[in-house]
A and B are shown apart, each in its own frame.
Chain A
Amino acid sequence: MRTLGAFFRALLNINTIWGLLILSAFAVCMLQHYLPTTTTFQPGVLHEGDNQLIIGIKGPNGEVQTWTYGLTIQSGAPVIAEDDRATDQDRPWLIDARRSGNGYLLTWDADTYGKYTVTANGAVVRKGSLVTLQSLTDAAFDWAKVGFDLALGLVASMVLFLGLLKVGEKAGIVQLVARLVDPLIRFLFPEIPKDHPAAGAIVMNVTSTVLGLGNAATPFGLKAMQHLQSLNPNREVATNAQVMLLAINTAGFALIPTTLLAVRKSEGCSNPFEVIGTCMVAGATATIVAIVLAKLLGRLPIFSAQAALHEDDNMAVADGPVQEEAR
C-alpha cells in the first residue's frame, strides 16, 4: 500500500511529468527521423499507366513547397523513376512502392520538416506531419523565446494592477471586499484569517476570470498567491489554500469565452454564439470537480504536506528540508 502510494505520488509529480514529456518527445522524434514516411493509396486512386504524384510540404518558415513525381503502374506493379529516387537533390525522395491488397503502399522521406500533403492525380491522399531531429531543436529554442515573451508581456499588467491593488489595500477597500465574501472564503479557504488581504485578491482574481478579463485576472491571482505564501510555513510546499486557488484557476470558468468566439466567427460558423451555453455547463462541471478534488485529495496521506516535505529525503539533495526543520 505504501509503495503504491509512493508510486502514484512520484507519477503525478511535476518533475516526472516534465521529464517524461521531454524523453517521449526525443524517442518519438528519433523514430520518425530515421524511419521513412509511409503513405497508403486506397484502391482506385492510382490507375494503370502514368500517375501524377505531388508532395507538398509547409516548411518551418511557413512557405508551402510542392514537388511533382511520376508513378507508372505496369500491369499492377508500380515503378518509380530513377530520378525520383535521388537523395542528393533538394527535394523529398521516393524509396519504394508496392502493391498492398487492392491499393498501393508508398514509402518516401525528406530532409525538411513540417505539414505535408500527398496528392495523386489531383485528389488529396493523405495529410500528416514530417518530423526530424531539427524540429525538436527548433521547438526548444522557439518555445523558450515564447516563454520569455509571455513572461515579459505580463510585466506591464502586473505593474498596473499590483499598483491599483496597493492603493485599494491602503484605503481599506480590499479588506472591505474580503469581509463581504467572508462566508464563501471560509468554505473554500478555511486557512485564511478573517479580513486578510488574500481574500480580497482572490475575489478580484475569480471575478476577473469569470468576466473573461485575463489581463487583470493573472496579476490578482499572483498577488493572492503571494498573500497565501506569507501564511505558508514551508516555503516550497503548496498549502491547501494555494492548491485550491490553483484548481479554481486551471478550471478557469468564464461566462463568455471571448477568444473562442472570435475564432468561431472568423472561421465562418453560422451562429458563433450557440456554444456559450454548453461552454458554461461544461465549465461549471470542471470547476466543481476541481474544487471538490482540491478539498478531498488534500486529506489523503500521499498528498499531505508532510509527505511532500520528506520527498527529497531519499534523493541526494544538498539543501533539503532537514536544515530548515533544525532552524
Chain B
Amino acid sequence: MSAAYAFKMVVEQISLLTIPLLFFLIIGYAMCRRVKVYEAFTEGGKEGFDIFLKILPYIVAILVAIGMFRASGALDFITESLAPYTLKIGMPADVLPVALMRPLSGSGSLGLVADVIHNAPDSFSAKVASTMFGATDTTFYIIALYFGSVGIRKTRHAVIAGLMADLAGVLAAVWVCQLVFR
C-alpha cells in the first residue's frame, strides 16, 4: 500500500465523519444549552431560498459569457498562439487548454483533463493536467457566487488575486511534476 493511498484513506475517513459529527455535536451541545433546536434550524434555513434569488442573475451572467466563449472556439486560437512559449517552461502542449480553462469553467476543464488522461493514462501530460486541475478552483464562478450573494459589484483586487493564484497553481504544477515524475 503506497503512502499516497494510505493518506487518501485517512482523509476520506475524516471527510466521511465530518458532517454527521457536525450535526451530532452542534445539535447535542445546543440541546444541553436548552436551545429550541427545531425552531432555530427552520429560522436559519429560511434564508436558503433568498440566496437563490440573489445569486441567480450573477451565476447565469457569468456562465452564459463563459459558455459562449467556449463554444466559439476562441480558446483554440489562444492555445495555438501561446503554445510556443509554454513549451519553453516545460509545459506539455496538450495541457495548455486545461490551464486556460481552469479559472473559467470547472466542468469544462475537468472534461479536458479527462481527454488528456484518456489519450495516454500514465503519460507526463496526464499527471501535469491532473495536478493543475487539483491545484485551484474555478475563479470566475466563485467570484460570481460569493460576491453575487451579497450584491457586491465592485470587486476591487479580487479578480487579479484569483487569476494570479491560478497562474501560480499552474506554474507550480508544472514545476512539481517535473521534480517528481521526470
Residues of A within 8 A of B (CB): 12-14, 17-18, 21-22, 24-26, 28-29, 32, 128-129, 131, 135-136, 138-140, 142-144, 146-148, 150-152, 154-156, 158-160, 162-173, 207-208, 211-213, 216, 218-219, 221-222, 225-226, 228-229, 235-238, 242-243, 245-247, 249-252, 254-257, 259-261, 263-264, 267-271, 273-279, 281-283, 285-290, 293-294, 297-298, 300, 303-305, 308-309, 311
**Contacts between the two chains (Cβ within 8 Å), count:** 375
What's the least CB distance linking A252 to chain B, in Å? Answer: 3
Residues A25 and B161 in contact, CB atoms below 8 Å apart = no
Given contacts A254-B134, A269-B117, contact A308 B156 (CB under 8 A): yes
Shortest distance between the CB of A96 and any CB in chain B (Å): 22
Does B35 touch A at the CB level, under 8 Å?
yes
Contact A275 B60 (CB under 8 A): no
Partner of A279, one of B60, B114, B134: B134
CB-based contact A282/B131 at 8 Å: yes
Q: How far is the CA of A300 from the CA of B11 in the complex (A)?
A: 39
Given contacts A151-B55, A164-B23, A252-B142, 18 further A-B pairs with CB under 8 A are A14-B153, A136-B71, A140-B67, A148-B60, A158-B52, A166-B44, A170-B33, A171-B35, A173-B25, A222-B146, A238-B155, A242-B146, A243-B161, A246-B158, A247-B161, A249-B137, A268-B117, A268-B121
Once the chains bind, are B30 and A173 in contact (CB under 8 Å)? yes
Q: A26-B72, A147-B59, A167-B35 are in contact. Are A260 and B110 (CB under 8 A)?
A: yes
A303 with B156: in contact, given A142-B67, A289-B164 (CB under 8 Å)?
yes
CB distance from B141 to the nearest CB of A (A): 8
Selected contact of A286 from candidates B44, B56, B153, B168, CB within 8 Å:
B168
Q: Is the CB of B30 within 8 A of A269?
A: no
Chain A neighbourhood of B134, CB < 8 A = 254, 257, 260, 275, 278-279, 282-283
Counting chain B CB atoms within 10 Å of each CB, the highest count among A131, A150, A167 belongs to A167
- Residues of chain A within 8 A of B81, CB atoms compared: none
Cβ A256 vs Cβ B12 within 8 A? yes
Q: Which residues of B lie under 8 Å from residue A278 when comparing CB positions?
A: 127, 131, 134, 173, 176-177, 180-181
List chain A residues, Cβ under 8 A from B165.
247, 250-251, 286-287, 289-290, 293
